[in-house]
Structure 1
Amino acid sequence: MATSSLSPQTATRKTTFPSLPPPKPFHTNLTFSISLPSNILIKTSIKSSISSSTTKYNEVVLDEEMDKIRRLQNGSDVRGVAVEGEKGRTVDLTPPVVEAIAESFGEWLMNGLEREGEDDVKVSLGRDPRISGALLSVAVFAGLARAGCVAFDMGLATTPACFMSTLLAPFEYNASIMMTASHLPYTRNGLKFFTRKGGLTSLEVEDICDRAARKYANRLAKVSTTLPITPTRVDFMSAYSKHLRDIIKDRINHPLHYDTPLQGFQVFHSHLHFCFQ
């Protein structure tokens, strides 16, 4: 029986291929020479515009992001869409935006407030019952903490109460923020700013929004979920209610029932107005 065998040289034979030349580097600057019949030589350079186009695109994006915050200013307030549900409107009052605004307000206070020897800048926050209030409150506290302020959480409160929290002892905060959008739909929310001198002016809020726009456009991190300084929970509304009751009792000064001066009256409530009869 015939058998075939392979020699060791045949078994170990390898096929070799000619090596390819190394790839040439890609040049973004290309120069072409064009010869014309009139013996004129024209050199045309084509440069890569990728980096410049990207820079211009980023500048446009940053400008748009900054304008989003500037457009939230509504006179002396900040107003925006906080939750979805409004046809034709997108959410623009987001937690990162609110954090940037609160931080800018805190810095504005730190730089311009006459603290009269006080070590800390104390800021209270009150809000109405809107469904976006709890989430945006965390953003406010995070922004105030970034600015170095000490925050106090008043919970549900009224706009006059927030201002009075800067004046009524023993609270007497340096400033206060009321989170509300007044009569606007539930999808909206906003911020009102107070110091002991009263509400901020439109120009002051414009300055704060401009600061916030620059922060927001250049910040890559999302809103802080862990507060470096936990806000102090305070029951200001009980003290404020007592303050209002004392004013009413003092002004009416009823000779028979001083502590219940509205006894016997009928109270009618219509929207935001109360009538006594």
Structure 2
Amino acid sequence: MKLFGTDGVRGKAGEVITPFLSMNLAMAFGECIPKKTGKILVGKDTRRSGYMIENAIVSGLTAIGFDVIQIGPMPTPAIAFLTEDMRCDGGIMISASHNPYYDNGIKFFDSEGNKLSQDIEKQIEKRYFENNFELKTNKEIGKSKRIDDVIGRYIVHIKSSFPKHLNLNGLRVVLDTANGAAYKVAPTIFNELGADVITINDNPNGFNINLNAGAMHPEMLASKVREYRADIGFAFDGDADRLVVVDEKGNIVDGDKLLGALAYYLHKKNKLRNNAIAVTVMSNGGLEEFLKQYGIKVYRSAVGDKYVLEVMKKYDLNFGGEQSGHIIFSDYAKTGDGLVSALQSVAYLIESGKKASEAFNLFELYPQVQTSIVVSQKPPLEKIDGAKNILKEVEKEGYRHLVRYSGTENKLRLLVEGKDNKKAKELLDKLTKFFKSKLV
């Protein structure tokens, strides 16, 4: 059985993510990482189930001899940063990111604040299922302590990513913290940098995380930006590793347009390493065409910010992201960080001298059409008779396609992208009929 998905282990709290799984998974993690300082950092978002999971994790780690530092609700990227900054052997974040409150998950980081490789994840899974952990006795049993003031370290770190010659004086910003992990830290940072800050969805009660709020539901943010006549709005998801931007007119900025604007900004400041960026296979071809005129190369990865980061490391890049809002500035963060992305976005806005509706609208997107098919089986696509030929036909027409199985459902997802919407729909219909005949 496979435990790890694209971003840690995730499922319904109390059903999939139980105290027993949490404790054993923590022990497996502890026994698979190098033990140097004997400390592991544990943070969480604002879900009620976080208490249950946190206590189970602490129990497991102390049972195998680790000392645990508990820091309470903090963004996922803060755990990555603080794990390295506080010289811990590893870090654990309890969060199901943008999922509803009844889900939860466990994400792991190594001593340098990096997400784990697939090889390490396989080792942890193997150890988990072996279920014969080396429990300590006597003075070798670990201890835990809760520290509530580490938020200051993270705030200083985030503010250092903002250009020192700029400030946010006179800028009105609306923040939607999704009743999640950024509910304290996000308004603090923007206030300290001088912005006129209006914060919404910043009263977590354990059950309202992501509920009609934040990056997954930016409609409320859009209406508040218009109501308060703000210059810009930022929405974070439950663990604050994702960002959605709303311009002064209340329009949601497309994720690829945001990536394009930020890549252009770094390029103009000569801060785009190797003049290239990493995006996923989901990113629009219009982004690639826009960046090409500045000589910026685009590398593509599988879906998931973890895979974007792998491509960034492979080609020595310092910028990349997903159209969903996971954006990685590796000069400042080891993973997607919504707060770093928000500060870089607002720095670009100020230096552009434009309104947000102009600054983040530098190119047109290619029409994209997509659908999904419920399938009864998931054979490898390359082994389906005739699949290669029909996909080549789409490519010959000059259109990009993406055909992949869902990682969580019995579905085949189909996407066709090109310059003409009508033609793209025709090609999508052709692909849909073909794969239905083979898989349904």
TM-score range for the pair, normalised by the shorter chain length? 0.5 to 0.7
Q: 1:79 aligns with which of 10, 19, 38?
A: 10
C-alpha separation in 2, matches of 1:177 and 1:80 = 16
Judged with a 3 Å threshold, the aligned counterparts in structure 2 of structure 1 residues 136 and 262 are, in CA distance, closer, same or farther, namely: same
Answer yes or no: is the 8 Å Cα contact 1:98–1:140 preserved in 2: yes
Q: CA deviation at 1:241?
A: 1.2
- 8 Å Cα contact 2:66/2:143 also seen in 1: no
Q: CA deviation at 1:206?
A: 2.2
**Is 1:146 aligned with 2:63?**
yes
Where does structure 2 lack aligned partners over 5 or more consecutive residues? Answer: 134-140, 170-191, 198-229, 237-242, 247-345, 347-355, 357-440
Cα distance in 1 between the residues matched to 2:168 and 2:54: 42
**Alignment of structure 1 residues 3-152 onto 2, 5 Å:** 70-83=1-14, 91-109=15-33, 112-113=34-35, 115=36, 120-152=37-69
8 Å Cα contact 2:42-2:91 kept in structure 1: yes
Q: Give the drift of 1:172.
A: 2.8
Among 151, 154, 159, the residue aligned to 1:237: 151
The one-letter code sitting in structure 1 at the alignment partner of 2:60 is: G
Of 260, 264, 268, the match for 2:233: 268
**CA deviation digits over 1:85-104, x for unaligned, max 9?**
xxxxxx12110111000011
* Structure ranking higher on relative contact order (CA contacts 8 Å, 6+ apart): 1
Report the alpha carbon displacement of residue 177 of structure 1 after superposing the two structures with TM: 0.6
- Write the letter of the residue equivalent to 1:273: V
Partner of 1:167, secondary structure, is helix
Aligned residue identity for 1:92: V
1:214-229 counterparts in 2 under 5 A?
214-215=130-131, 229=143
Larger Rg: 1
- Mapped contact 1:179–1:189 kept (Cα < 8 A): yes
| Distance in structure 2 (CA, Å) of the matches to 1:204 and 1:161 | 22
Whether contact under 8 Å (2:19, 2:56) holds in the other structure is yes
Report the CA distance shift for 1:150/1:251 in structure 2 as closer, same or farther (over 3 A).
Answer: farther
Q: 2:114 is matched with which residue?
A: 198
Flag the 1:273–1:254 CA change in 2: closer, same or farther, 3 A. closer
| Separation in 2, partners of 1:99, 1:172 | 23
1:36 corresponds in structure 2 to: none
Give the conservation status (yes or no) of the 8 Å contact 1:122–1:149. yes
TM-score of the aligned structures, taking structure 1 as reference length: 0.57
**Does structure 2 retain, via aligned residues, the 8 Å contact 1:152–1:234?**
no
Deviates more, 1:142-151 or 1:242-251: 242-251
- Indicate if the aligned counterparts of 1:104 and 1:147 stay in contact, CA closer than 8 A: no
The one of 101, 107, 114 equivalent to 1:186 is: 101
Q: Distance in 2 between matches of 1:210 and 1:79?
A: 18
Deviation of the 1:263 alpha carbon: 6.4
Percent identity between the two aligned chains: 26
Root mean square deviation of aligned Cα: 3.0
- Are the equivalent residues in 1 in contact too, given 2:28–2:128 (CA < 8 A)? yes
CA contact (8 A) 2:8 2:105 kept: yes
Counterpart of 1:138 in 2: which secondary structure?
helix
Task: Give the conservation status (yes or no) of the 8 Å contact 1:249–1:260.
Answer: no
Q: 2:174 aligned with 1:250, yes or no?
A: no
Distance of 1:263 and 1:105 partners within structure 2: 43
Distance (Å, rounded) in 1 between the aligned partners of 2:105 and 2:165: 34
Q: Answer with 202-211 or 100-109: which moved more.
A: 202-211
Alignment CA distance shift 1:191-1:273 (3 Å):
same
Bigger shift: residues 202-211 or 153-162: 202-211
Maintained 8 Å contact 1:124/1:162? yes
Give the SS at the match of 1:252.
Answer: coil
For residue 128 of structure 2, what is the amino acid of its counterpart?
A
3-state SS of 1:107 partner: helix
Name the SS of the counterpart of 2:83 in structure 1. coil
- The TM-score, its normalising length taken from structure 2, stands at 0.37
- The equivalent position to 1:158 in structure 2, one of 75, 96, 102, is 75
How much has 1:164 moved relative to structure 2? 0.1
Which sits farther off after the overlay, 264-273 or 125-134? 264-273
The SS at the match of 1:173 is coil
2:126 alignment counterpart: 210
**Secondary structure in 1 matching 2:17:** coil
Matched length: 182
1:231 Cα deviation from its structure 2 partner: 2.9
1:154 positional shift? 0.9
The change in CA–CA distance for 1:151 and 1:194 in structure 2 (over 3 A counts) is same
